[in-house]
Amino acid sequence: MPDISVRNMTVRDIDEVLRIDEKITGKPHAAYYESKVASYISRGPDYCLVAEHRDHVVGFVLGDVRGWEFASELSGWLEIIGVDPNYQGQGVSRILMNELCARLKRAGVAIVNTMINWNDGDLIDYFHANGFERGEYVNLVKNLAADEKQ
Ligand SMILES: CC(C)(COP(=O)(O)OP(=O)(O)OC[C@H]1O[C@@H](n2cnc3c(N)ncnc32)[C@H](O)[C@@H]1OP(=O)(O)O)[C@@H](O)C(=O)NCCC(=O)NCCS
């Protein structure tokens, strides 16, 4: 495993974070991503982290603490985690995830939520491997375009 360190993300890291995102997805990032990352950093600076190898950003996680919509208790959220494809499979996300969870625990939250596509079996396997289980809530969607046709 490479020598990886973790620190708080700053706005100066946003370009590197988006570079990793582009490497993962193979497409240019959407214009609003930059402000989205910046708003996470300003809301929860202790829960937005980068992993570095030799002063080079190789992974990131964006997290948050907020009230779960239907209960008063605060919950942790893992919005997105990403690792440079050249560094995947070497424990980088494990280090980021462990640090995020340790910080969330210190903040007093008992539960960490994340949202993924139910059809993405690979991602479900990944989160299972990292201690996540299916939660109690299900998301419902209303198709506004279909609504217009009625
Ligand atoms: C998913 C991702 C973050 C994993 O990062 P990584 O650094 O390669 O993962 P790690 O090497 O730290 O693996 C941590 C654990 O997850 C497991 N794991 C990693 N990828 C997995 C996968 N695709 N399916 C199942 N388990 C997986 C590993 O086996 C390891 O478990 P172990 O310690 O019990 O062996 C990385 O592949 C990535 O950036 N993917 C694209 C973006 C993405 O899908 N992000 C998640 C949604 S927000």
In tens, the pLDDT along 127-147 reads 999 999 999 889 999 999 987
Quote the DSSP letter at residue 46: G
- Token pair of 113, please? 């939520």
How many whole angstroms from 142 Cα to the centroid of ligand 1? 32
The answer for 26, left when phi > 0, alpha when psi is -120 to 50, beta otherwise, is left
The answer to whether 109 and 75 are in contact (CB under 8 A) is yes
Atom of ligand 1 nearest to the CA of 20: 39
Spell out the domain ranges in the chain.
4-149
How many whole angstroms from 30 Cα to the centroid of ligand 1? 23
Atom of ligand 1 nearest to the CA of 116: 47
In tens, the pLDDT along 69-92 reads 655 578 999 999 999 999 999 999
The answer to whether 90 and 1 are in contact (CB under 8 A) is yes
Would the pTM of this model clear 0.85, i.e. be above it? Answer: yes
Q: Considering the domain 4-149 in this protein, what is its CATH number?
A: 3.40.630.30
The answer to whether 113 and 75 are in contact (CB under 8 A) is yes
Q: Indicate if ligand 1 lies below 6 Å from the C-beta of 93.
A: yes
